[in-house]
Amino acid sequence: MKNNTTVALIITTYNWPKALELVLESVRHQSLMPNEVIIADDGSTDETKKLIKTFQQNFPTKLIHLWHEDKGFRRSAVLNMAFSKTDSQYLIQLDGDCIIHKDFIKDHIFHAEKDTFLFGSRVNIQKLFLPTLFNNRIIRFNFFANGIKKRTRNLRMLFLSNQYKRKNELSKKLRGCNLSFWKEDIIAINGYNEDMEGWGREDSEMIIRLLNKEILGKRLRYCGIIYHIYHHEKSKSRLDLNDEIQQNSIKNKSIWCENGIDKYLS
């Protein structure tokens, strides 16, 4: 990536300020800062707004709070809104329940390349560790740290991460909480499909259209590390409907979705 490329970190959140506080604290301690951080808020209450205002008073880069009304799980819509509001060329996507390694931003920027999206996995923070996590405001985890599982994902070894190549396939390892891509590529496929409300398939369907556009995926392994805070699973009541939309995108080799980001760009 060229040194003058602008970068935005976009963090989705919904009514969990206690987790978002740790996430933003981990952003504050990054070895390399993005040009801006955008909180894409899917309708949280004023408690989240107050937290973000507190961080805005003394944050090392621009911190923006983008909110829309709570009308159920509309993550696709609020992400499209966030993409449309930034002038940054490269977008790194994170969920508001994922603490980031101090070199997370640096790793995504280092591996960014033309016609490519990046995806990483996550280390899981266990349920029983949550009281300790929040009481002690922990944002750093070494390999032997208490309260985590999937420890091999907590190894940062760049000489191994460089072995991973671009592929034109949807990986089972893909997670929407750890993605990055060029804004121009997202605009070219019309962003997330907002017909996909409720949890499930919204990230993978968007990625399928990127792949159909010949934007290849590269896995971040041994770098780009995040720590996912345990929470109960979200409702899967819309999963079958969203899966049908995804299957249609596969069958039709879709590149464009009709209900996407373009409505915010006009």
Q: In whole angstroms, what is the distance from residue 233 CA to residue 229 CA?
A: 12
Q: What is the reported pLDDT for 194?
A: 95
Q: What is the reported pLDDT for 121?
A: 87
Q: What is the reported pLDDT for 265?
A: 94
Spell out the residues 6+ positions from residue 230 whose beta carbon is closer than 8 angstroms to its own. 124, 125, 126, 127, 129, 130
Q: What is the reported pLDDT for 1?
A: 64
90-95 and 178-182 beta bridge pairing: antiparallel
Q: Where are the domains of the chain?
A: 7-261
Q: Angle between the 46-56 and 17-28 helix axes, to the nearest 10 degrees? A: 20
Whether the predicted model's global pTM rises above the 0.85 cut: yes
Q: What is the reported pLDDT for 129?
A: 97
Q: In whole angstroms, what is the distance from residue 29 CA to residue 3 CA?
A: 21
Lowest mean pLDDT of 1-10, 61-70, 96-105, name the range. 1-10
Q: Across residues 189-206, what is the average pLDDT? A: 91
Q: What is the reported pLDDT for 42?
A: 97
Query: CB neighbours (10 Å) of residue 247?
Result: 13
- Domain 7-261 belongs to what architecture? Alpha-Beta Complex (3.90)
Q: What is the reported pLDDT for 26?
A: 98
pLDDT above 80: residue 91:
yes
Q: What is the reported pLDDT for 63?
A: 98
Q: Which helix (H) or strand (E) holds 149?
A: strand 148-149
The percentage of residues in the chain with a pLDDT greater than 90, rounded to a whole number, is: 87
The residue among 73 and 17 whose pLDDT is bigger is 17
Q: What is the pLDDT of residues 139-182, one digit of tens each?
A: 999 999 999 998 999 999 999 998 999 999 999 889 899 999 99
